[in-house]
């Protein structure tokens, strides 16, 4: 099963310009994902859907998603606003006041969490949300489960984007997920970069944004001294493609730009491909490695 992910769209950054830079980047990313073969089963949009929480931007977001041929599931980030989101997307049910829900894909259970605390940049996870998550996890303790949320509960090393590991919400979330062998990991947004790490025995992967990216600068930052460092860069819009193969979640990151192709599968490189594929075990002897002819089919079946 393939799961596409986009994040940090920040639509409405230029409120008076419907065709703004961030909309162009979103449209390009959606077009790239919709052209994928095989097709993803769904598209996750993991928060900071819009920039200023306004209803008009959510309406434009709805319009941008209108032609996506597979389901789109959204999570909220620190730039979102629950009341306006709810007005434009009334099909979403809020539980205990939070946008938290389950996606039952068949092979994999997905729990979408709400880490928004309006007025705060960083994440939040209160006792009420923790109780909901605990109840959902206790319902199906053996089912492979993926957690989806905007804020990664990790210190990424870019000082102004860090989450302090001592933050109470991180402890609450960790306490709920700790020792749950069926939880395979978390996919998140917020960092505007691709980051992967290990946290509480779980893989955490963040997705690059469709909006401009955050610059990679790990130097300490001083709130009193603006030092002209790069903060936001107009690198290409990105997305993630997660492949659940029934055993592991494999995360790929790519951009929505045209790639400069240096080699194609033609007669010149056929020998290399043949050798590479011939090295692998045949299906009856194999240990689950996709075989040359089975790989595309396997992906196709997994995507259905």
CB of 161 to Fe ion, least distance (A): 9
Report the residue number, 25 or 190, with the smaller CB distance to Fe ion: 190
Q: What are phi and psi of 42, to 5 degrees?
A: -160, 165
Q: Is 190 in the site for Fe ion (CB under 5 A)?
A: yes
Stretch binding Fe ion (CB under 5 A), from 40-48, 122-130, 138-146, 264-272: 40-48
Contact residue for Fe ion among 12, 40, 53, 77 (CB under 5 A): 77
CB of 40 to Fe ion, least distance (A): 22
Query: What's the chain's Rg over C-alpha atoms?
Result: 20
Q: What is the DSSP string of 66-120?
A: TT-SS-EEEE--TT--HHHHHHH-TTSPPBTTB--EEEE-SS-EEEE-----TT-
CB of 211 to Fe ion, least distance (A): 7
Q: What does the alpha-carbon distance between residue 248 and residue 246 come to, in Å, rounded to a whole number?
A: 6
| Token pair recorded at residue 5 | 């992910």
Q: Which residues of 80-96 are buried (b: 16+ CB within 10 A; e: fewer)?
A: bbbebbeebbeeeeeee
Stretch binding Fe ion (CB under 5 A), from 19-27, 73-81, 160-168, 252-260: 73-81
CA-CA distances (angstroms) from residue 295 to 106, 201, 292?
21, 29, 6
Report the residue number, 20 or 48, with the smaller CB distance to Fe ion: 48
Report the residue number, 5 or 145, with the smaller CB distance to Fe ion: 5
User: What number of residues does the chain have?
Assistant: 304
CB of 236 to Fe ion, least distance (A): 16
Stretch binding Fe ion (CB under 5 A), from 30-38, 70-78, 124-132, 175-183: 70-78
CB of 112 to Fe ion, least distance (A): 15
| Token pair recorded at residue 168 | 């109470």
Q: Is 57 in the site for Fe ion (CB under 5 A)?
A: no
CB of 50 to Fe ion, least distance (A): 10
Closest of 299, 243, 250 to residue 42, by C-alpha: 243
Q: Is 8 in the site for Fe ion (CB under 5 A)?
A: yes
Contact residue for Fe ion among 29, 57, 78, 213 (CB under 5 A): 78
Report the residue number, 62 or 120, with the smaller CB distance to Fe ion: 120
* Residue 242 near residue 203, CB atoms below 8 Å: no
Query: Torsion-angle region of residue 157: left (phi > 0), alpha (psi -120 to 50) or beta?
Result: left
Q: Is 22 in the site for Fe ion (CB under 5 A)?
A: no
Report the residue number, 144 or 190, with the smaller CB distance to Fe ion: 190
* Residue 253 near residue 207, CB atoms below 8 Å: yes
Q: What does the alpha-carbon distance between residue 158 and residue 162 come to, in Å, rounded to a whole number?
A: 6
Report the residue number, 144 or 151, with the smaller CB distance to Fe ion: 151
Report the residue number, 48 or 81, with the smaller CB distance to Fe ion: 48
Contact residue for Fe ion among 5, 26, 48, 49 (CB under 5 A): 48
Stretch binding Fe ion (CB under 5 A), from 3-11, 51-59, 94-102, 139-147: 3-11
Report the residue number, 108 or 195, with the smaller CB distance to Fe ion: 195
Strands 213-214 and 232-233: antiparallel
Q: Is 25 in the site for Fe ion (CB under 5 A)?
A: no
Q: Which residues bind Fe ion (CB under 5 A)?
A: 8, 48, 77-78, 190
């Amino acid at each position: 099963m393939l799961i596409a992910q986009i994040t940090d769209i920040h639509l409405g950054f230029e409120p008076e310009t419907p065709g703004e830079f961030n909309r162009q980047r979103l449209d390009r990313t959606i077009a790239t994902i919709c052209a994928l073969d095989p097709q993803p089963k769904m598209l996750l949009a993991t928060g900071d859907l819009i920039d200023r929480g306004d209803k008009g931007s959510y309406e434009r977001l709805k319009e941008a998603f209108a032609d996506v041929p597979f389901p789109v599931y959204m999570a909220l980030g620190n730039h979102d606003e629950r009341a306006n989101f709810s007005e434009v997307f009334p099909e979403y049910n809020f539980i205990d006041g939070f946008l938290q829900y389950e996606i039952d894909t068949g092979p994999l259970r997905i729990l979408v969490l709400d880490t928004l605390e309006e007025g705060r940049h960083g994440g939040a996870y209160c006792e009420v949300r923790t109780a909901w998550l605990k109840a959902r996890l206790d319902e199906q303790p053996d089912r492979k489960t993926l957690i989806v949320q905007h804020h990664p509960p990790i210190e990424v090393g870019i000082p102004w984007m860090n989450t302090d590991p001592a933050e109470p919400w991180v402890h609450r979330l960790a306490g709920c997920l700790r020792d749950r062998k069926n939880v395979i990991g978390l996919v998140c947004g917020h960092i505007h970069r691709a980051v992967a790490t290990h946290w509480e025995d779980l893989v955490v992967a963040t997705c690059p944004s469709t909006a401009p990216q955050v610059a990679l600068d790990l130097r300490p930052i001083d709130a009193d001294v603006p030092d002209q460092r790069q903060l936001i860069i107009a690198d290409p819009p990105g997305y993630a493609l997660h492949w659940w193969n029934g055993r592991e979640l494999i995360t790929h990151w790519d951009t929505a730009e045209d790639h400069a192709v240096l080699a194609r599968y033609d007669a010149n490189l056929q020998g290399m491909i043949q050798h590479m594929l011939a090295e692998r075990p045949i299906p009856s002897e194999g240990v689950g490695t996709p075989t040359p002819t089975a790989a595309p089919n396997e992906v196709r079946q997994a995507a259905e």
